[in-house]
Structure 1
Amino acid sequence: MSVAVIDYGMGNIDSVVRAVEECGGSPVLTRSGRDIAEATHIILPGVGAFAEGMERLHSLSLVEALEEQALGCGIPFLGICLGMQFLASRGTEGGEVPGLGWIDGEVTKLEPVNGERIPHVGWNDVEHDAQSGLFRDIPSGKDFYFVHSYHFKCANPGDALASTPYCGGFVSAVGRGNVFGVQFHPEKSQRAGFQLIRNFLAMR
């Protein structure tokens, strides 16, 4: 299977590529619409600022290519960290900025409720109800690795696939149809993270 790993200049691209290879996929590191059109799966990684990331996606003409394949053709799509946040209607970092708008909601800053540190860095629980195939064979409450200061607030609770008990609780995975996003880094989350990637690659 050809897995398009989108390179727009922001994110831990190499670790994602290695993880896809380890999980049996054939990663293609790309910013080409042709590669995206030929892919069986698409992964959009990312670390950094929402506004800058969206600007880069637009400047590289990637938004249209991603929409055509993910929304038009139903190709399985996974956003990681900032890539998940892009799925929202808008981000609020540095002013309100439109996102891809594939899953209704907004990205806002984490607010401590019990002295939690921001950014949220390290291992933390991901709790889910086992309804999504993305978490097949992954027990609820398993630890995944996080690095972020902002989080996705879903407008529709049904789009939230998992949550994490930090700063009063936040959505740590979203999904709608063939489109998924995770706030954590599966490529850095050892066995559980690799299982999630394998689950994603098994989707058709």
Structure 2
Amino acid sequence: MTDIAIVDYGMGNLRSVSKALEHVAPDASIVVTADPEVVRKAGRVVVPGQGAMPDCLRELDAHGLRGAVLDAAINKPFLGICIGLQMLFESSEEGNVKGLGVVSGKVLRFPPAAMVSTSGQKLKVPHMGWNQVHQIIDHPLWKDIPNDARFYFVHSYYVETTSPEPAAAYSLYPFVFTCAVAKDNIFAVQFHPEKSHEAGLTLLRNFVQWEPISHTDRARM
């Protein structure tokens, strides 16, 4: 059985994610796959993504992966990266599309009028580069990662949760926005751990070792 499946729907930074996971888990069976059955049988699932949300969702459906991704988000350790975070939400302003609806909330574009720093400097969109991540909750994936550690971001949209509970971390650009969510067996981040040096590798190592209780198992308790 595949230990970790990295979902390939044609829109992700797959090589970097795969190499980073191979580095932190050299003995694991790691595959990049567009096969829904491989995703369903994998012990852990990673969904990366880059590009426009409508394109990502269309390609997810074109590859027949929606059901497998939803199943993983309910039943096994699941890591979403960038669009892999955003697609979990109910809707997105980008193309006015519906997401997978696993996390309550929406995806919003950085509003041009608000993109001004405290010194009056106009900020660029997309938000690109290193930024501090402020942890909100104690979570196994934050183990050995200092609070306020810096991670690498590339995005023009951000997530807004309906309630505070799923938020696991926030960043500022220039206002506070949620940059990580945690829900049962799901952990998803707006930044790119595979591009974030030691802090990112530590998060990926923590994911490989994480043993959450799935939504299905919680319902049986």
Scaled to the shorter chain, the TM-score interval is over 0.9
Q: CA deviation at 1:116?
A: 1.8
Give percent identity, aligned residues only.
40
Any idea what the Cα deviations from partners look like across 1:165-200, whole Å, max 9, x if unmatched? 212111110111001110000000000000000111
Q: How far apart in 1 are the matches of 2:98 and 2:62? A: 14
Q: Provide the TM-score with structure 1 as the length reference.
A: 0.95
Output the CA distance in 2 between the equivalents of 1:58 and 1:167: 35
Contact 2:136 2:167 in 1 (8 A): no
1:29 matched to 2:32: yes
Letter of the structure 1 residue corresponding to residue 208 of structure 2: L
* 1:102 is the counterpart of 2:99: no
In 2, Cα distance between the equivalents of 1:116 and 1:125? 16
SS in structure 2 opposite 1:104?
strand
Using structure 2 for the length normalisation, give the TM-score. 0.88
Q: How many residues are matched?
A: 201
Is the partner of 2:133 in helix, strand or coil?
Answer: strand
Which residue in 1 is equivalent to 2:51? 48
Deviation at 1:70, TM superposition (A): 2.7
Q: For residue 165 of structure 2, give the secondary structure of its aligned residue in structure 1.
A: helix
Gaps of at least 5 residues in structure 1 are none
Q: Structure 2 counterpart of 1:28, which letter? A: V
Contact 1:10 1:47 in 2 (8 A): yes
Say if 1:129 and 1:162, in contact at 8 Å, map to a contact too. Answer: yes
CA contact (8 A) 2:151 2:192 kept: yes
Asked if 1:86 is matched to 2:65, the reply is no
Corresponding letter in the other structure for 2:44: H
Taking the aligned partners of 1:48 and 1:36, their CA distance within structure 2 comes to: 22
Give yes or no for contact 1:90–1:106 (8 Å, CA) kept in 2.
yes
- Which residue is 2:5 aligned to? 4
Q: Which amino acid in structure 2 is aligned with residue 83 of structure 1?
A: G
2:206 alignment partner, one of 190, 199, 202: 199
Q: Which residue of 1 aligns with 2:214?
A: none
Structure 2: 5+ residue stretches without partners: 212-221
Is 1:61–2:68 an aligned residue pair?
no
Contact 1:126 / 1:141 at 8 angstroms: preserved in 2? yes
Match of 1:159 among 148, 162, 166: 166
The one-letter code of the counterpart of 1:55 is: R
Task: Please tell me whether the aligned partners of residues 110 and 167 of structure 1 are also in contact (alpha carbons under 8 angstroms).
Answer: no
Deviation readout 1:135-159 (Å, 9 max, x if unpaired): 1110110000000000001111110
- RMSD (Å), alpha carbons: 1.2
Asked which structure has the greater CA Rg, the reply is: 2
Rounded to whole Å, the distance in 2 between the matches of 1:113 and 1:180 is 30
8 Å Cα contact 2:88-2:103 kept in structure 1: yes
Indicate the residue corresponding to 1:144 in structure 2. 151
Amino acid at match of 1:97: V
Which string of whole-angstrom CA distances, capped at 9 and with x for unpartnered residues, describes residues 80-120 of structure 1?
011110011011112x1010111011001013143221111
- 1:111-134: CA deviations, max 9, x gaps? 314322111110000000351111
- Alignment check: 8 A CA contact 1:80 1:182 kept: yes
4+ residue segments displaced more than 4 Å: none
Alignment of 1:169-188 (within 5 A): 169-188=176-195
Alpha-carbon distance between aligned partners in 1 of 2:83 and 2:108, rounded to the nearest angstrom:
12
Please state whether the residue corresponding to 2:103 is helix, strand or coil. Answer: coil
